[in-house]
Amino acid sequence: MHQHMKSYFLLLIVLIGFVGFSQNDYTDASKLYKDYREDQFYASVTYNILNEKPSGVSQSGFSSGFHFGFIRDMPINEKRNVAIGLGLGISTNSYNQKNVLIEEINKTISFSKIDESDYNVSKNKFATYLVEVPLEFRWRTSNPEDYNFWRIYTGFKIGYLLYNTTTFRSEVANEKLTNIDSFNKIQYGLTLSAGYSTWNFHVYYGLNSIFDNNIQFEGESIDMKSLKIGLMFYVL
């Protein structure tokens, strides 16, 4: 009899544990619904355009950008479809251009105008590598049970330059520089992402110059800014 009582007691403990686990599941599900957020990893591919180029400067080839990161979603309304997003990411950007030769002369970085036909240039580009902090105001038609929805996310992004390179190849001269001081360490701009489900249109409009304001080119400052247009992918 004592053995049977022990068996019943163990069975009761198992049943209580199972019921408690089930109740926790329901509680967690309810809490999940209540605390619904769109925390997301993001990946973006962009075509990079040089804005406000000095006279005589043009782009050539395809200038690309790749951007990755994570955004924490903080809803600010009861339906939880309006939120503030704050994130952290990395960005790599290349800019193919004509007419500007960036070189080091007597330990000084020089920007000069060239005629491509005189050099027969095969490559002329610079690249930047940044860590970025995006801040977004987010509107969407979502809920915790629907993963396909419309969104419009507008915001501001600030980046800190970790590394840069410049590459010039031609029949006359070759020059490759790394981590020169001619670039602005802080770069920032406005952002917009809009679309449905995973696929979204994305644009970044740079507000400050890629290069230091003291850099001169043909007697004027190089105040080129970055305009990035492409696709943004959000992954839960």
pLDDT digits (tens, 9 = 90+) for 158-208: 999 999 999 999 888 888 999 999 999 999 999 999 999 888 999 999 999
CATH of 38-235, one of 2.40.160, 2.10.25, 2.60.40, 3.90.550: 2.40.160
Say what the pLDDT of residue 31 is. 54
Q: Averaged over 104-111, what is the pLDDT? A: 85
- Bridge partners, residue 9, by sequence: none
* Planar angle of CA 46, 48, 49, nearest 5 degrees: 145
This prediction has a pTM of: 0.82
Say what the pLDDT of residue 145 is. 77
* Rounded Cα distance, 144 and 209, in Å: 41
Percent of the chain, pLDDT > 90?
51
In the chain, where the domains are located: 1-35, 38-235
Q: How would you class 138 by CB atoms within 10 Å of its CB: exposed for 0-12, middle for 13-18, buried for 19 or more? A: buried
